[in-house]
């Protein structure tokens, strides 16, 4: 691996945020004076990411360029697809087509909705890749009791000690991720995260400690938590 190659993040920011409301892309919602996508790039940059490819909705490029005009790292843009894996593949294609970005060995895939991702978490993901992991994802233990529905209104207890909450950014050797998503496309496999595609290709995933601050903004209440985190940091 080239130790001087850039670390590139594909930032998935094409979601409409229907459950969040407000009538604009979720990643452009402002919290503590900055958009969610800008907060995300701050955390990625603090953890060691050098450049970003931001996956955006059609017709919103000018708004994203304004939101990231003073981004701590250079950002380029690509339109998202119908599924998450389509959006990530579009980001990988943008990397392949850029002579600077194409030098990267490692790619991180991050949800812009996890706006308050700490730099320490990002750094742990990158360190795992440098240490030889083909794929890495941050996880948290499950704090709540869990039950599984078994049908007919019945349920059963699930051992939460065996469960983990998955966060982003998820990190990969670029060639491993590219191959895994191509495999998923060819085999008709739909995945909710990129690590699932990499695991389906037979690669072992390394788990690192996540962070409660890297919560995903989905509903209006989540904005309150994110704002509290942002203000505590400032």
What is the per-residue pLDDT for 42?
97
Q: Which of 168, 178, 174 is nearest to 6 (CA)?
A: 174
Long-range CB contacts for residues 91-100, cutoff 8 Å, separation at least 24: 91/10, 91/12, 91/53, 91/55, 92/10, 92/174, 92/177, 92/178, 92/181, 94/53, 95/8, 95/10, 95/53, 95/174, 96/178, 100/6, 100/51
| pLDDT one-digit tens code per residue, 114-161 | 999 999 999 999 999 999 999 999 999 999 999 999 988 899 999 999
Q: pLDDT tens-digit profile of 49-99?
A: 999 999 999 999 999 999 999 999 999 999 998 899 999 999 999 999 999
Looking at the predicted structure, is the pLDDT value of residue 233 above 90?
A: no
One-character DSSP codes across 143-203: -S-EEEEEETTEEEEE-GGG-EEE-S-EEEEHHHHHHHHHHHHHHT---SSHHHHHHHTTP
What band does 23 get if pLDDT is binned at 50, 70 and 90?
A: low
Domains of the chain: 7-233 (3.90.550.10)
């Amino acid at each position: 691996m080239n130790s001087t190659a850039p670390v590139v993040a594909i930032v998935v920011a094409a979601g409409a945020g229907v459950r969040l409301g407000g009538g604009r892309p979720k990643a452009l919602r402002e919290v503590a004076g900055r958009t969610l996508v800008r907060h995300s790039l701050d955390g990625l940059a603090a953890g060691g990411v050098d450049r970003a490819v931001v996956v955006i909705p059609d017709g919103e490029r000018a708004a994203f360029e304004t939101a990231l005009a003073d981004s701590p790292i250079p950002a380029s843009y690509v339109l998202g697809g119908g599924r998450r894996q389509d959006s990530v593949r579009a980001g990988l294609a943008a990397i392949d087509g850029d002579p600077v970005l194409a030098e990267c060995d490692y790619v991180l895939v991050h949800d812009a909705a996890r706006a308050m991702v700490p730099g320490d978490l990002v750094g742990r993901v990158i360190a795992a890749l440098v240490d030889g992991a083909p794929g890495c994802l941050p996880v948290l233990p499950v704090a709540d009791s869990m039950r599984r529905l078994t049908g007919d209104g019945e349920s059963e207890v699930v051992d939460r000690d065996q469960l983990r909450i998955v966060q982003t950014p998820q990190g990969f050797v670029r060639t491993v991720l590219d191959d895994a998503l191509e495999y998923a496309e060819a085999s008709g496999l739909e995945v909710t995260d990129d690590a699932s595609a990499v695991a389906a290709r037979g690669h072992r995933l390394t788990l690192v400690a996540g962070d409660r601050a890297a919560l995903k903004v989905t509903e209006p209440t989540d904005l309150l938590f994110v704002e509290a985190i942002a203000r505590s940091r400032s």
